[in-house]
Amino acid sequence: MTKTSIQFKYVQKSFGDNLVIPDLSFTVQEGEFVTILGSSGSGKTTLLKMVNGLLKPSAGEILIGGKKLADQDLVNLRRHIGYVVQQIGLFPHMTIAQNIGVVPKMLNWPHEKIVSRVTELLQLVQLDPDSFADRYPSQLSGGQQQRVGVARALATNPPYVLFDEPFGALDALTRLELQREIKRIHDSLANKTFLFVTHDINEALFLGQRVMVMHDGQIEQFATPEEVVTHPATAFVKELLGTVQQNEQLWGRAHD
Ligand SMILES: Nc1ncnc2c1ncn2[C@@H]1O[C@H](COP(=O)(O)OP(=O)(O)OP(=O)(O)O)[C@@H](O)[C@H]1O
């Protein structure tokens, strides 16, 4: 039986007079990989930040694992929610191992447990522990740093992981490689709910078991990639998909 993991009920968010999210309701099931796609300023980051309590809704209710977010201790909640962002913010003066182990250390895990968890996570994100554990962030490529960011977010084995444009700054090939990796990681970890914000339509369609298309703080469509492609629900979704087709046509023409 599927279990509800994250639920928004009539959520509204304003910044001052600016009503960014007028009325948002949706449900994500435990273990789902949901991608959130939308134009710039459509409220995607705001949505993610409301899930981990960095922002509070102006009205409505959010439930995480069936419990009201408003009633939960935020420090404790964030330990159960991994967060990966584009500017991943590794600590420059700490080694890769120390960066990944930062939260376990804060939680007073024994040293041996941290070392074995860091090794396991480096292997999971396909960075050889012998070669990478003792390096510093500046000695890694952008793609490798993002892998460390993913490892760090998974350190305490959180049931929920939020990704905000994690691969946005990477070149196309590295991006493709990391997309495959993140899909493999989701498949290999049981019951982890991933919410993944992206501007990239192909990325959203490739990764998401369901894709949420947002525009002006509202959901235009929330469906499987197949459904989105074959039955775009609104003119906006159609237009968005049209941009990909247009790119493909241009590409085709360039290679005629
Ligand atoms: N802290 C804030 N104070 C005031 N306005 C904000 C704040 N955070 C976001 N906004 C506004 O809310 C709207 C939605 O922003 P948000 O960052 O959620 O969009 P987004 O879909 O993630 O955009 P992008 O794809 O460009 O990152 C924007 O108009 C933004 O200017």
The model's pLDDT over 62-89, given as tens digits with 9 standing for 90+, comes to 999 889 998 888 888 888 899 988 777 8
Give the chain's end-to-end CA distance (angstroms, integer). 50
Q: At 173, list the tokens.
A: 């090939």
Nearest to 240 by CA among 209, 183, 210, 198: 198
Residues 72, 113, single domain; the answer is no
- Which residue, of 111, 142, 157, is where some domain finishes? 157
Query: ipTM, 2 decimals?
Result: 0.95
Number of the ligand 1 atom closest to the C-alpha atom of 42: 21
Residues 3, 70, single domain; the answer is yes
For 20-74, write each residue's pLDDT tens digit.
Answer: 999 999 999 999 999 999 988 999 999 999 999 999 999 999 999 889 998 888 8
- Cβ(84)–Cβ(149) below 8 Å: yes
Nearest to 80 by CA among 51, 100, 58: 51
Mutation pick for ligand 1 pocket among 12, 36, 46 (CB with most ligand atoms within 8 Å): 46
Strand-by-strand arrangement of the 210-215 sheet: 81-85, 160-164, 193-198, 33-38, 210-215, 218-223
Query: What is the rounded distance in angstroms from the CA atom of residue 206 to the CA atom of residue 200?
Result: 10
- Which residue, of 136, 157, 178, is where some domain finishes? 157
pTM across the whole model: 0.90
Q: Please state the rounded mean pLDDT for residues 146-165.
A: 91
Residues 6, 127, single domain; the answer is no
Residues 144, 214, single domain; the answer is no
CATH number at residue 18: 3.40.50.300
Work out whether the CA dihedral 135, 138, 143, 147 comes out positive or negative: positive
Is 13 touching ligand 1 by the criterion CB < 6 Å? Answer: no
**Chain centroid to CA 40: how far?**
16
Q: How many domains does the chain have?
A: 2
Residues 179, 190, single domain; the answer is yes
pLDDT at position 248? 66
- Which residue, of 102, 123, 157, is where some domain finishes? 157
pLDDT at position 253? 58
Residues 69, 95, single domain; the answer is no
Number of the ligand 1 atom closest to the C-alpha atom of 16: 4
Residues 233, 248, single domain; the answer is yes
The average confidence (pLDDT) of the chain is: 90
Residues 170, 253, single domain; the answer is yes
Is 217 touching ligand 1 by the criterion CB < 6 Å? Answer: no
Residue range of the domain that includes 75 = 1-80+159-256
